[in-house]
Structures are given as C-alpha cells and as structure tokens.
Structure 1
Amino acid sequence: MTVFTSAVHDFSEAVRSRLSSLEQQAADGAFDAAIDLMTTAIRNGGVVYAFGTGHSEAFAMEIAGRAGGLIPTKKVALRDLAIVGSLPIAELKGANLERNPDVADELFAIAQVGPHDVVVIASNSGVNGSIVGFALAAKRNGNPVIAVTSLDHTMQVQPKHPSGQRLRDVADVTIDNLAPYGDAAITIGADVPVGAVSSITAAYIAQILTLGVSERFVSGGDTAPLYLSANIPGGDEHNVALEEQYGISRFA
C-alpha cells in the first residue's frame, strides 16, 4: 500500500467515524433544540441567518440559498461590509478582518436581522472577534444563537474578543463539529498534520438541521419551504413563488 493510499484510507476513516457519531447524535435528539429554534423562527415569519468566516463560510452556503435547502434563509458574509457597508474593499484581504470585533455591530446592522429571526454561526475555532461580536449583537437584539464549532479546538485557544468569551459561551445552543484541535485529522509521517474535517462535518450538520426542520413541517401537515434546483424544469417558478411568500431574495 502506498503512503498516499494509506493516507486516503486513514482520512476516510476519520471522516466516517465523525459522520457516524453525528448521525447517532441526531438519532438521540442532540440536534432537536437547534431544529426547534429554526422551525419556530420560520413558523413565526422569521428567517434563519447563517454566518461564517474563512472556510466556515461554506457552512453558511449549505444553510442558505441552495437546492434542497430552506427558503427562509439568508447568508451573512464579511464582504457585505464592503459591498453595502463602509469598509474599503482593500480591508477584505487577509485574516485580520475576521479577528476584528469592531466590525460586528455594523455587519449585524447591515444584515437587518428581525425580531423573529434565528442566527446560526459556524466557526471552527469559535474565538475570532467578528464571530463572537456578531453573536453578542444577536443576543442584544433578542435573537437566539446556534453555534457550530469544534469544542476540542475552542477550549485550547484564547478568545480574541474583548469580552473574553468564546462563541460557545454566547450561544443558546452549541453543536460540536467534532473536528480535532487544529482541524487536521491525520498525520503523514511522524508529524505532518493534514486532512481537515471541519468543512465536511459542518456541511453534514447543516443538512441534518435542514432535514430536521423539513420533518417538523411535514409532520405538522405543512409543505416544507425548500428550494428546488434552478436547473430542473419548473425550479425557478417554484423558488420564486416561495421566495415571494417568505419575503426572501437570494441576491439580497
């Protein structure tokens, strides 16, 4: 067996074991509190806001505006600060922005989170200033916060927000993405960490939450408000009709 083939096998096992654990947690009701918050928000005319920085932005894209996903959703991104906010585009470069707690309040104001909305935030480290600041802004506004983070990692690093809090400290519900400290799940050779898993487990968690909310709607005798692929016949018409019903625009 080549080193490469061995590494692929080891990484696959690391991913499979985590997905199996998340599946069992879902069966045991570990996601129910988050699913209930999201379902309640939508039933009350609210929206699920999804936010993540860096690679965790992929989680927000899994939640909001994709085929098979919930229609009453909106994605928040740091680039919104430059697109519709006061931040110069040049400030989007590098990692400093996601670590900066001072941008959170403006970003929250730009997002226009309403009183019935719920905020879902993904951050593997769970300590960056913009992430914690956005969560605190949501709490001040009276919105419940769901966190998706690595408990292994977040408890081994220092918070970067002046409050000294981590995302998990602010959130109403915290979901562990099961990524290890540093995210890399295996090593090649003696000491080369490789094979990040947080994007994979976070995407799986996003789908578990979407499935759970959909089941709540169906079990209540309602139609789950889900996007069809725009690349199938009738997809656009279906999506536009439900977007208008929920007051959502994929491009807002």
Structure 2
Amino acid sequence: MSDTATSTAVHDFAEAVRVRLAALEEQAASGAFDAAIDLITDAIRKGGVAYAFGTGHSEAFAMEIAGRAGGLIPTKKVALRDLALRGDLAVADLKGANLERDPSVADRLFEIAEVGPHDVVLIASNSGVNGSIIGFALAAKRAGNPVVAVTSFDHTGKVEPKHPSGQRLKDIADIAIDNLAPYGDAAITVGADVPVGAVSSITAAFIAQVLTVGVAERFVAAGDTAPLYLSANIPGGDEHNVALEERYGITRFA
C-alpha cells in the first residue's frame, strides 16, 4: 500500500471518529446523558459507589470510569479476573473468550463485587449480548441497583443474545446509551473492502468522561467539592487520593 493510500485510510478513520464524537457532544448538549449523570450523582450523594464492568476491549470503559486521574473517587471496577483473584476460579480458566460468554459466572461475580444497596452499575458491551454481561446486569436488577448500559444499538440488534433469558443489555438497563459504533465495530474499509478501524473503545471512553464531567458539574453547581482523583504522578496526588478514598470507603483491587 502506498503512503497516499495509508494517509487516506487514516483520514477516513479519523473522520469516522470525529463524526461520532461530534454526535455524542451534541447529544450531551441536548441533555441526553442527564438521566445517567443524575443516577450516578444521586448514588454518590447517598453514600453509594459507581461500579463499572466490561469484558474484552470494553474493560477499557470501566478503566475510564474507575480509579483514574480526573475520575470520580467513589468508583470501583469489576473484571472477570476477580473470579480468580478474589474467588475460587482457576487462573487458567480466564484464557480465551469463553468466560465472557458464560452466564453462569455472573451471580458469583456480582457477589464478589459486593455491590451495595445505594450503588449504581455501569456496564459497557459493544455487542450487548454476551452471557456474563447480561447475567451481571440481571443480578444488579434483582438486587435493586440501577443499571446504565453503553452499547452499540446497531450491532446488538443484529446478533443473537448468548444468555438463556434471550435478553440484550440495552433492554435490561434503566438507561441505555448508544456508543454509535457500527455493526462489527470497524468503521472503514481498506483494500478489498476489509473492515478496519474499530471505534467503540474511543466512543465509550468519551462517554465515560462525559458522565464523569457531568457528575463533577452537579457537585460544583451545588457548592460542593467534586470527589475527583488527582494524578498520582503529581506532588500531593497520593495524599489527596488516599484521604478521599478513606472518606468514601474505597478499597482498590486489581
């Protein structure tokens, strides 16, 4: 492939990202994310925590929500490896994609996470149909916790659910947010129409930050200090973060 062809593909991909981020920005300006922001804000004000869960590449969404600089202190990330780190699953069972498709692990994972009565659960899944994701969402709903979903409306409507309930994440959630990724995630084609350039991680990360910024705005508007992490790599960052983690009862796990 020539340098010109490569440059064209990169431009096309960047444009595909720009179009989607602009659409999400417009949605945010119109108040489309307000209900989710209010849920998270209310949970924190009641002493709750925002739990974030994603499998595969969607774990990046959970990492954007929980435990990062500029992010909210009252947050916790849930990951399938918690079943081995804090449960009794063998490490070897974490390999491959079977676990994320397995609905039977969801209840145990929810139990390990120790989601409380005032907590809100945020779940990202591009397909929105894998068994562990659906099972975790259903467990949250049974426990009375509100669920916010970030998923591709285009993709999820074109694939079959992998959970015995036959449900999709967007239909279980109290609030479902479209990450605007296309079916198959890849946004452009190169060569002989080879799909490439996945966008869901980028748009989901943007959504995570929009939610975080929105919650911070709610706190500031009420005259309160937003409970946000400082970078641990600046002077005083660790001290600031530990003090607020203790205030909100946050204990970090891998």
Query: Per the shorter chain, which TM-score range?
Result: over 0.9
Deviation at 1:249, TM superposition (A): 1.9
CA distance in 2, matches of 1:240, 1:87: 30
Q: Which residue of 2 aligns with 1:80?
A: 82
Deviation at 1:69, TM superposition (A): 0.1
Q: Which residue of 2 aligns with 1:56?
A: 58
SS of aligned partner of 2:115: coil
1:180 is aligned to 2:198: no
Q: Which residue of 1 aligns with 2:68?
A: 66
Q: Which residue of 1 aligns with 2:141?
A: 139
Give per-residue Cα distances to partners, 1:111-148, cap 9 Å, x unaligned: 00000000000000000000000000000000000000
SS of aligned partner of 2:67: coil
Q: Which residue of 1 aligns with 2:93?
A: 91
Give per-residue Cα distances to partners, 1:127-182, cap 9 Å, x unaligned: 00000000000000000000000000000000000000000111000000000000
Deviation at 1:250, TM superposition (A): 2.5
CA distance in 2, matches of 1:190, 1:178: 24
CA distance in 2, matches of 1:219, 1:179: 33
Q: Return the letter of the residue paired with 1:28.
A: S
Greater shift in the superposed pair: 229-238 or 111-120 = 229-238
Deviation at 1:244, TM superposition (A): 0.5
Structure 2: unaligned runs, 5 residues or longer: none
Q: Return the letter of the residue paired with 1:72.
A: P
SS of aligned partner of 1:199: helix
Alignment match of 1:197 (pick from 174, 199, 215): 199
SS of aligned partner of 2:225: coil
CA distance in 1, matches of 2:85, 2:155: 32
Same amino acid, percent of matched pairs:
81
CA distance in 1, matches of 2:35, 2:165: 26
1:117-136 to 2 correspondences below 5 Å: 117-136=119-138
CA distance in 2, matches of 1:250, 1:78: 16
Q: Return the letter of the residue paired with 1:8.
A: V
CA distance in 1, matches of 2:172, 2:87: 25
Structure 1: unaligned runs, 5 residues or longer: none
CA distance in 2, matches of 1:85, 1:126: 25
Q: Which residue of 2 aligns with 1:217?
A: 219
Q: Which residue of 2 aligns with 1:116?
A: 118
CA distance in 1, matches of 2:235, 2:195: 45
Give me the TM-score of the superposition, normalised by structure 2. 0.98
Deviation at 1:86, TM superposition (A): 1.8
CA distance in 2, matches of 1:32, 1:158: 30
Q: Which residue of 1 aligns with 2:161?
A: 159
SS of aligned partner of 2:149: strand
Give me the TM-score of the superposition, normalised by structure 1. 0.99
